Structure formats: structure tokens, C-alpha cells
Amino acid sequence: MVHAEVTPTKTVDKDGGQFEARNMFCSDCTPPVAVASANTDPSSIQITSLPLVLLATMVGPVEDQSYATIVNTDSQKQGAYSVGDPIPGASGKLKAIRFKYVDFENNGHVERIVLAGATPPATPVAAVETPASDENKDDLQSSIDNGIKKIDDNTFEIDKALVDKVLANPMAVAKGARIVPAVKNGKPDGFKLYAIRPSSVYAKLGLTNGDTLQSINGFELTSADKALEVYTKLREATSLEMEVTRRGKPVTLKYTIR
């Protein structure tokens, strides 16, 4: 009797490896990276040597609503980029935007920019440095607790020392909420806040879950690029006025910096 050789059937992975599981209501959860092959291992992607700095990421519910604010420190060219956009100083385009890093093509391979102030994902160093980051976090939390005084529901006083700390390390408060671009009638409509932690600077400033931040001191926040521009202009401000949409109604929050 002749036995026919049976060829094993190849199993096809139908998830495509294109999307990462993430919890949009967990502000400090970095999405896991699929380990389907060596190419998807975070440690296999090299950190770029180009003079590029990742200032901020805005990860939207869909890919075309995600933005990364990147500056080329040599040319000083900066902007908000989405997947498929060319990166200043690189030969290729942006491939992926994550909470703490972005990947892009350059000279035929993929390179990575890690968010300013963050540690690269999946590295032993991150675990070793945890105690130090906890100490910094405790110091910042103490400043937040003592540096914001509520006058009434819409009026607050902010300690200048707290403002200086936040400006020196803006990513230190980034985990206090999930911030995503808001879209209305197909057009940018500010930034919506979710999963605000009760102890975060956002909560202390009177912001609540579902608020859409639309302007600061009259400067409209229509993109991550505009948000960066406003951030630069307001560094020396002694008062702030934020226009927010809350449950469909406009709300004005006022802050005095002392």
C-alpha cells in the first residue's frame, strides 16, 4: 500500500497585524506590539540618528485622526504629521503613530523616534529606572496638589512654579488623561479629553471627561500643529482663558498665574 504524503496546511493569520489592541480608557497603557516576526519586535527597530525630536502624539480612534508633532533640530522645520506624510530630513514617510513613539522609513529601512522624556519600549532600562521616575512623579503630584487653587467652578489660581515644572517636562502630565483630536462635520474641532484621573492636573484645572478643548486665549486648537504654536505663545502668559464645549454647551474656564 502506498501512503500519500500529506502536506501540512498553512494557517493564515487573518488579523493582518495592522492594528494593536488598546484600551482607550487607560491613559498610561502603552499598546502591546505584536510579536509575529522579528521585524515586529520593538527592539529590532533602531532609534534614529537623525536630528528629529518627537514632541507629542495624538492617537485618534482611527489612523487618519492620529498626529505626531515632530521637529528637525537642524533645519528647525516642525509640524504635525499623519501616517503617510514625509518626515523632515528623512527619505521616507511616517509608517506608524503610537502613544510613546513613531516609526518611519529612511534609506530603505524602518527607524523610530521615541517621545521626548519617554523611554524606548520593551527595554530592560525602563524597568531599572522605575524607582527614579516614581520619585519624580511624587514630586510633580505634590506640586499639582498644592499649586492649583479653585476659586469657583470656572475660576482658578495657578502657582507659577507649577507652570514652570509642566513646561519643563510636559510629558510628565501626559498620563493624566487621554486626549484625541475632535472632529465635527468632517472638520477638526479641538481636542476631546477622556479618562481624566481625579488627581491629574486636568481634573484640578476643572476639566471633566468628555470636554472638548477648543481655544486658549482666543487661539483655536484646530490641529496638533496649532496646539504646539499656542503652547509656544503662552509660555509667558499671566492669565489663561480656555473655551470648552461640555455636554454640547460652551464653558469658559479662567486661570490666573501667580
Provide the CATH number for the domain around residue 182: 2.30.42.10
Secondary-structure percent of the chain, ordered helix, strand, coil, rounded to 5: 25, 35, 45
Cα 102 to chain centroid, rounded? 11
Instruction: Tell me the pLDDT of the chain averaged across its residues.
Output: 75
Give the Å distances, CA to CA, from 217 to 25, 180, 189, 220, 224: 29, 20, 16, 9, 17
Mean predicted confidence (pLDDT) in 151-161: 91
Other C-beta atoms lying within 10 Å of the C-beta of residue 96: 18
Looking at residue 90, which CATH number applies to its domain?
Answer: 2.30.30.830
**Residue 237: inside a domain:** yes
Beta strand pairing call for 239-246 and 212-216: antiparallel
Please tell me the least confidently modeled range out of 19-33, 114-128, 137-151, 221-235: 19-33
- Bridge partners of 216, per DSSP, are 219, 242
Residue 229 grid cell:
504654536
**Residue 247: inside a domain:** yes
**pLDDT score of 111:** 95
Domain of residue 79, residue span:
38-114
Global confidence as pTM: 0.50
